[in-house]
């Protein structure tokens, strides 16, 4: 872990991979941002869905022989600046809501663009020369038992390439989240709104506190 010092603060970048700017993923990441800021880190918060971008276009410019910087995404769009900022950070704290059993599409696009340039097609090692510690929060409707039975293996597989950023990698499932504030207003009989609300009140504050501590670099 990179220590904070006034002359060399930790560089923390926080990326909200949910299209909703104030719901579960965002609230967790706001807390992480606050923890980072209060610890004296240099912190930037980005709402991914404010940017205009696509996933990897398979231009393969990052695999051309003789390029100056192999660990760079050469496709130019609204993601380019963010990718460079992440590569220059000490810590990436991000969150991806789970859609259809996978991280949401915007996050997948970010992941492809961030990690593919790091992957060497010569020997499958990393071409990234820095080190970025990563934490990914994964809010989802699924209860913890469902996550353990059906999602955990595929998340481990999906996120394994995070190791190409050479840092500590951490994933935190956030299960059984509140999806709407008033379930009685929606056709959502598959969910017990009272249960969701009660869980949100007891469990979600613990996740916010955990995010704060992670942001502060205390765990």
Applying CB under 6 A, does 32 fall inside the site for ligand FMN? no
Helices and strands, counts by H and E, the chain: 6, 7
Q: Which of residues 33-52 bind ligand FMN (CB under 6 A)?
A: none
Nearest approach, Cβ of 207 to ligand FMN (angstroms)? Answer: 11
Alpha carbons 178 and 199: distance in angstroms, whole number: 8
Tell the smallest beta-carbon distance from residue 99 to ligand FMN (Å): 4
Secondary structure (3-state) at 43: strand
Whichever of 100 and 124 has its CB closer to ligand FMN, that residue is: 100
CA–CA separation, 137 and 98 (whole Å)? 10
CB of 135 to ligand FMN, least distance (A): 16
Which tokens hold the place of 159? Answer: 């996120």
Q: Measured from the CB of residue 126, what is the shortest distance to ligand FMN in angstroms?
A: 30
**Of 48 and 132, which CB lies nearer to ligand FMN in the complex structure?**
48
Residue number with CB closer to ligand FMN (74 or 99): 99
What does the alpha-carbon distance between residue 95 and residue 180 come to, in Å, rounded to a whole number?
18
**Binding map of ligand FMN across residues 87-116, x = CB under 6 A, - = no contact:** ----------xxxxx---------------
Instruction: Check if the beta carbon of residue 85 is closer than 8 Å to that of residue 138.
Output: no
3-state helix, strand, coil in the chain (%, to 5): 40, 20, 40
Dist CA 205 CA 195 (whole Å):
16
Q: How far is the CB of 198 from ligand FMN (least distance, A)?
A: 16
Nearer to ligand FMN, 8 or 181 (CB): 181
In the complex with ligand FMN, the residue whose CB is nearer, 97 or 215, is: 97
Say how far apart CA 70 and CA 3 lie, in whole Å: 28
By DSSP bridging, strand 42-47 and strand 91-95 are unpaired
- The reply to whether 179 sits near ligand FMN by the rule CB under 6 A is yes
Residues between 113 and 152 that touch ligand FMN (CB under 6 A): 139-142
Binding site for ligand FMN (CB under 6 A): 18, 20, 23-26, 97-101, 139-142, 177, 179
């Amino acid at each position: 872990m990179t220590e904070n010092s006034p002359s060399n603060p930790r560089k923390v970048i926080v990326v909200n991979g949910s299209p909703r700017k104030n719901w579960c993923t965002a609230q967790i990441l706001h807390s992480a941002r606050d923890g980072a800021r209060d610890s004296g880190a240099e912190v930037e918060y980005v709402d991914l869905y404010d940017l205009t971008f696509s996933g990897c276009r398979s231009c393969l410019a990052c695999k051309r022989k003789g390029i100056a910087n192999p660990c760079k995404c050469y496709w130019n769009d609204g993601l380019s600046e963010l990718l460079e900022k992440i590569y220059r950070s000490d810590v990436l704290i991000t969150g991806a809501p789970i859609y259809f059993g996978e991280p949401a599409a915007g996050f997948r696009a970010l992941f492809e663009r961030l990690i593919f340039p790091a992957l060497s097609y010569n020997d499958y090692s990393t071409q990234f020369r820095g080190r970025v510690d990563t934490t990914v929060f994964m809010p989802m409707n699924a209860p913890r038992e469902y996550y353990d039975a059906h999602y955990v293996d595929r998340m481990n597989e999906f996120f394994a390439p995070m190791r190409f950023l050479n840092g500590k990698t951490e994933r935190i499932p956030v299960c059984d989240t509140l999806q709407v504030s008033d379930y009685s207003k929606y056709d959502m009989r598959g969910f017990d709104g009272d249960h969701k609300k009660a869980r949100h009140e007891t469990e979600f504050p613990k996740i916010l506190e955990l995010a704060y501590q992670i942001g502060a670099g205390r765990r």
